[in-house]
Amino acid sequence: MYDEQGAQYLDCINNVAHVGHCHPLVVQAAHEQNQVLNTNSRFLHDNLVDYAQRLSRTLPKKLCVFYFLNSGWLGRAHLFCRSSEANDLALRLARQYTGHQDVVVLDHAYHGHLSSLIDISPYKFRDLDGQKEWVHVAPLPDTYRGPYREDHPDPAAAYADEVKRVLSSAQERGRKIAAFFAESLPSVGGQVIPPAGYFPRVAEHVRSAGGVFIADEIQVGFGRVGTQFWAFQLQGEGFVPDIVTMGKPIGNGHPLACVATTQAMAKAFEATGVEYFNTFGGSPVSCAVGLAVLDVLEKEQLQAHAASVGSFLMELLGQQKAKHPIIGDVRGVGLFIGVDLIKDKATRTPATEEADYLVSRLKENYILMSTDGPGRNVLKFKPPMCFSSDNARHMVAKLDAILTDMEEEVRSCETLQLWPQPSSAQ
């Protein structure tokens, strides 16, 4: 990225510019379609169906109905045919299908800025009006900071049992569950990687309670995790959510989002007779942009690139962890990585002030970084997918130099002694 004076910054956090800032092929696709037609989705256009078909090839066959929105607008594409709007629609679909109201979410989660989504975002509602009676919060499946850590024999089962307990408690109070709503990789919660097998177990408990499973892929989808196209696929080949929401990277900065679901859920939604229509959802230009993003991902092999560069970056950051005691944990997959900064290894107290200082120093060195997590102490890496090995080396070298400076400053302060002043004559 460049500022108004032409200074160049290395962007390590912008997961919206998924295939790179102002990628020429994406810009060209939008420009060319704008010159031909851009109108609302009451007018049929091939781009809508073409795009839905392309997306369908990346997902399990069960997820075959697509609703396109902006902010992650709405049009419906038949294959029989954040983003806030996408997650709000997912909530409506789940409630209509199940006939239930309540939602289970993970602690520290954030799902959008609409009122319906603030209500299911502990990250926000705890600072506002508090928790609604229809919202139930399960522990974040964090094996570094949570109750079941890396030394637990089966953290996936243990965290899934916590969800089961939340469900049982809600049912004992007469509450009926519509959905379990979770980011496939919790981001705001601190770049958390749920243990493998956690989602399938949770889905079993939730479906037994009459609810559905909603996977929020708005920050982590479209090949970011490297080994898979969608982050929920990290949980096992047999696991399929009932609803998947997409946004942010889907349009490389263009306002585009999508909800993918099953025919059964879509039919239940439409049975109300209340049509869901959004003027700009699935517009010709938006779908042209979405298609161009998929084209770039394929042509530039960015999913494989994310796997390769992400693995290299994890290796470099692991070396820094061995060198600098402030780094308590390095976790991630593909180009979704968190560096957990701590004050001491025994208590794993979040190094919040140090993290804030480090981000400021990195910016002075023309590197854009940010923090996440309840303690605002986790450095988050979610760069554009074109982020290279050379970019990784450059960023880690600057990180190393700044951490070394910070450690030297601490040692200098520790060696300073305040000598007693001579007492004045009586």
Report the alpha-carbon angle 342-348-354, nearest 5: 20
Structure tokens at 24: 């020429």
Position 416 scores a pLDDT of 55
Residue 244: is it exposed, middle or buried by C-beta count within 10 angstroms (0-12/13-18/19+)?
buried
Residue 413 amino acid letter: C
CA distance 168 to 138: 12
How are beta strands 212-216 and 370-372 bridged, if at all? Answer: unpaired
Q: Rounded CA gap, 18 and 290, in Å?
A: 11
Contact 386, 348 (CB under 8 A): no
Which is it for strands 257-261 and 327-333: parallel, antiparallel or unpaired? unpaired
Task: Render 376-403 in DSSP notation, one character per residue.
Answer: T-EEEE---TT--HHHHHHHHHHHHHHH
Hey, what domains does the chain have and what are their CATH numbers? 10-16+301-410 (3.90.1150.10), 24-299 (3.40.640.10)
| HSE, side-chain direction, 13 A CA sphere, residue 313 | 32
**Residues in the chain, overall count:** 426
- Rounded Cα distance between 127 and 326, Å, is 29
What local confidence, expressed as pLDDT, does residue 418 receive? Answer: 42
Q: Model's pTM, two decimal places? A: 0.92
* 54 and 222 Cβ atoms separated by less than 8 Å: no
Q: How far apart are CA 34 and CA 15, in angstroms?
A: 25
Please, which residues have CB within 8 angstroms of residue 270's CB and are 6 or more apart in sequence?
none
| Closest residue by Cα to residue 297 from 47, 56, 58, 30 | 58
Q: Kindly give the confidence (pLDDT) of every residue in the chain, 426 residues in length, as a single tens digit, with 9 standing for 90 and above.
A: 999 999 999 999 999 999 999 999 999 999 999 999 999 888 889 999 999 999 999 999 999 999 999 853 334 443 333 468 999 999 999 999 999 999 999 999 999 888 888 888 888 888 887 899 999 999 999 999 999 999 999 999 999 999 999 999 999 999 999 999 999 999 999 999 999 999 999 999 999 999 999 999 999 999 999 999 999 999 998 999 999 999 999 999 999 999 999 999 999 999 987 777 777 888 999 999 999 999 999 999 999 999 999 999 999 999 999 999 999 999 999 999 999 999 999 999 999 999 999 999 999 999 999 999 999 999 999 999 999 999 999 999 999 999 999 999 888 887 654 434 444 443
Distance CA 247, CA 69 (A): 9
Can you give the pLDDT at residue 5? 95
Q: b/e per residue, 245-275, with b = 16+ CB within 10 A? A: bbbbbbbbbbbbbbbbbbeebbebbeeeeee
Instruction: Give the angle subtended at the CA of 121 by the CAs of 120 and 123, to the nearest 5°.
Output: 155
C-beta neighbour count of 54 within 10 angstroms: 16
Cα 121 from Cα 99, distance rounded (Å): 22
**DSSP secondary structure, 236-293, as one string:** -TT---SEEEE-GGGGTTSS-EEEEE-HHHHHHHHTT------TTTT-HHHHHHHHHH
- Return the H-helix or E-strand segment holding 355: helix 352-364
Q: What pLDDT sits at residue 128?
A: 82
Q: Which string of DSSP letters, residue by residue, matches 104-152?
A: EEETT----SSHHHHTT-HHHHTTTT---TTEEEEPP--TTTSSS-TTS
Question: Facing residues of 209 across strands?
Answer: none
**Cα 226 to Cα 203: distance, rounded to the nearest angstrom:** 24
**What pLDDT was estimated at residue 415?**
65
135-138, strands of its sheet edge to edge: 75-77, 65-69, 257-261, 243-246, 212-216, 177-183, 102-106, 135-138
Q: How far is CA 43 from CA 75, 120, 283, 394, in A?
A: 11, 35, 9, 49
Task: With CA atoms as reference, report the closest residue to 290 among 318, 339, 248, 322.
Answer: 248
